[in-house]
Amino acid sequence: MKHPGQLLRDELAGDATIQPFLGIYDCFSASIAAKYSTNLFLSGFGFSAGYYGLPDIGYIAWTDMVAAAWRIRQILPGHKLLVDIDDGYVDVHTARLVVKQLERMGVAMVMLEDQTRPRRCGHVDGKLLLPLPEYIDKLNSLLLDRESICVLARTDASGDEAYRRIEAMSKTDVDVLMVDAIDSIETLTRLQNHTNKPLLFNQIAGGKSPRLSIEQLREMGVRLVQYSTPLLFAAQQAMTEVLDALVESGGVLPRNPHGPSVGVAECFALLEANASAASSTVPEK
């Protein structure tokens, strides 16, 4: 059985249409997203919100993220998982350990950013960057260690610095590149002239990047598309709406105005499918 990272690398090497990476924040959101794409993204933004109830500014412990990835792999072994490891949790030795553990459990790809502490969400102001040589050294250490897992190098730089960093990252053995918070189609198009590596484009509601369809992005040569937080934001909105309706009705459970409501049977069916998958999971080779 091929490692999921090698399967993704095979797709990147050919002309295959790669399904979008849908952002998830726990096993429940992963279970829903799994019906819409074979590729899932364990987002740092989403995980920090769902697990800690805190903004994604450096609170995540590497052990918590590794444990979350392991739980998702147990219930969805047939899906390819991209895991956000932020800056590798500061220390290069920790970064190497994290990647090795994720690789052994069958994670397809990790995302390593070039921010330094205190880190920020990619679509907010005030980000601080590691000196480029320091980041490249950390990136190369992971690349020398990995066997099958894909590595995505992310920069949070903007302007000319983004092009400079993309060129430097392109000289490594990294599999995929990403510039977060791309501000325009022109910037995205220009980036293509600075690398021969596959690009991933990240979309987040309320973020700095333009809203583009998958077809538009593919026409511009973008191989991978990522949606970081649609389920997290949808959950916040839906939970607010249902609790408002519950209060307004005097405590009578509201009906879903948009169609059939999810109840015990529908939720149990989703979870029962996960239990079946987990009980039949075999170790990756």
Tens digit of pLDDT for each residue in 160-201? 999 999 999 999 999 999 999 899 999 999 999 999 999 999
Q: Evaluate whether 264 touches 78 at the Cβ level (below 8 Å).
A: no
Q: Evaluate whether 12 touches 5 at the Cβ level (below 8 Å).
A: no
- Homologous superfamily, domain 4-235: Phosphoenolpyruvate-binding domains (3.20.20.60)
Tens digit of pLDDT for each residue in 33-43? 999 999 999 99
> Which residues 6+ apart lie within 8 Å of 51 measured at CB?
25, 26, 60, 64, 68
Other beta carbons within 10 angstroms of residue 87's beta carbon come to 21
Backbone φ and ψ of 41, nearest 5°: -125, 115
Checking if the pLDDT of 120 tops 80, the result is no
Q: Evaluate whether 222 touches 200 at the Cβ level (below 8 Å).
A: yes
260 falls in which pLDDT band (50, 70, 90)?
A: confident
pLDDT attached to residue 283: 45
- Between 47-51, 80-84, 273-277, the lowest mean confidence (pLDDT) is in 273-277
Q: Concatenated DSSP letters for 6-59?
A: HHHHHHHHTTPPPPPEEEESSHHHHHHHTTT-SEEEE-HHHHIIIIISS-SSS-
Question: What are the CA-CA distances from residue 13 to residues 6, 17, 90, 197, 219 (Å)?
Answer: 10, 11, 31, 10, 18
Paired tokens of 59: 């609170």
The ranges assigned to domains in the chain are 4-235
Q: Which residue has the tokens 């000319």?
A: 160
pLDDT attached to residue 221: 93
Question: What are the CA-CA distances from residue 236 to residues 229, 233, 240 (Å)?
Answer: 11, 5, 6
Tens digit of pLDDT for each residue in 263-285? 889 999 999 999 888 887 544 44
pLDDT attached to residue 285: 40
For residues 80 and 117, give the distance between their C-alpha atoms in angstroms, rounded to a whole number. Answer: 29
108 falls in which pLDDT band (50, 70, 90)?
A: very high
Average pLDDT, the chain: 93
